[in-house]
Amino acid sequence: MARPFTLGAVAYDAKVVDIWEGFKTYFDSRGLPFDFILFSNYEGQVAAHFAGIVDAAWNSPLAWLQSLAIAKNKNLTAIAVAMRDSDCDLKSLVVVRKDAGVDSLANLKGKRIAVGAKDSPQATLIPLELMAEHGLIAGKDFQVEYFDILVGKHGDHIGGERDAARALAQGKVDAACMIDSNYSLFCREGTLNPAAVRIVAHTAAYDHCNFTVLRERQHADTDKFVSLLLAMDYEDPMVRPLLDLEGLKKWVPGRISSYAALAAAISRFGTIENFVRETSAKI
């Protein structure tokens, strides 16, 4: 019997099991035999994808760029086939206390800046690249306070960002980096007092996660998977709870035009070279 279309996803939260069990029911009911494998980190998921253990990977932006690099080394083609509407045109923020006297990124020289995990695109890599583009180099021109919560999950677990925000609220650091949606969340939940902080800078818009497949190794049901995914209707009572859990209103075709800032960051900070080299050699 042919293997069902198998997706790889990272278990960054307990709800991930409910999400993909629900999606399995949805796909199975529409004639697509579907299964999923959960990984504890993106590096394991990327390696499994290239080893043929999964047919598609629900990749973080960093895992997408890792996949692109490995595919190039293996003469393969990585394709972003779909993403959430909420993955498009995001921004990261540099937030400061209003009483800190910081009016621009230049004023952060010599300051302490809190970020998320070292492998978080949104709360670490992309904001640090923004600062570098403005002449401020981490560890040289300012002190970086990393909040390394669940490294390997590429910042999907927002604990690191929340801890960075708490450090800012408590006056332990002069600034904190976070994605715009989490800034709004932290203000709503009381982690940050919006009357006491302000945004001093924001990055250019970028994209986040995508479903990645390998063109030369596509499962026979890849097109069916993508078409069923894109056909999900938020007004469908079976679908809406799953989309709410996964944080979107609709799936959209994948695009690869808005990963340049992260690519620049990993080039500057050397985030993926060893993993790409080692994985390419093993597979």
Q: Which top CATH class is 5-87+208-282?
A: alpha beta
On the question of pLDDT at 183 being above 70, the answer is yes
| Predicted pLDDT at 156 | 81
In the predicted model, what is the mean pLDDT of the chain?
94
Q: What is the pTM of this model?
A: 0.93
User: What is residue 190's predicted lDDT score, i.e. its pLDDT?
Assistant: 97
Reported as a single tens digit per residue, the pLDDT across 78-127 is 999 999 999 999 999 999 999 888 999 999 999 999 999 999 999 999 99
Q: What is the 3-state secondary structure (H, E, C) of the chain?
A: CCCCEEEEEECCCCHHHHHHHHHHHHHHHCCCCEEEEEECCHHHHHHHHHCCCCCEEEECHHHHHHHHHHHHHCCCCEEEEEEEHHHCCECEEEEEEHHHCCCCHHHHCCCEEEECCCCCHHHHHHHHHHHHHCCCCECCCEEEEECCCCCCCCCCCCHHHHHHHHHHHCCCCCEEEEEHHHHHHHHHHCCCCCCCEEEEEECCCECCCEEEEEHHHCCCCHHHHHHHHHCCCCCCCCCHHHHHHHCCCCEEECCCCCCHHHHHHHHHHCCCHHHHHHHHHHC
Over the stretch 59-84, which tens digit does the pLDDT of each residue have?
A: 999 999 999 999 999 999 999 999 99
**What is the pLDDT, as a whole number, of residue 227?**
98
How is the chain split into domains, by residue range? 5-87+208-282, 92-202
Are both 5-87+208-282 and 92-202 of the same fold?
yes
Percent of the chain with pLDDT over 70: 100
Residue-wise pLDDT tens digits, 263-275: 999 999 877 777 7
Q: Which class does domain 92-202 fall in?
A: alpha beta
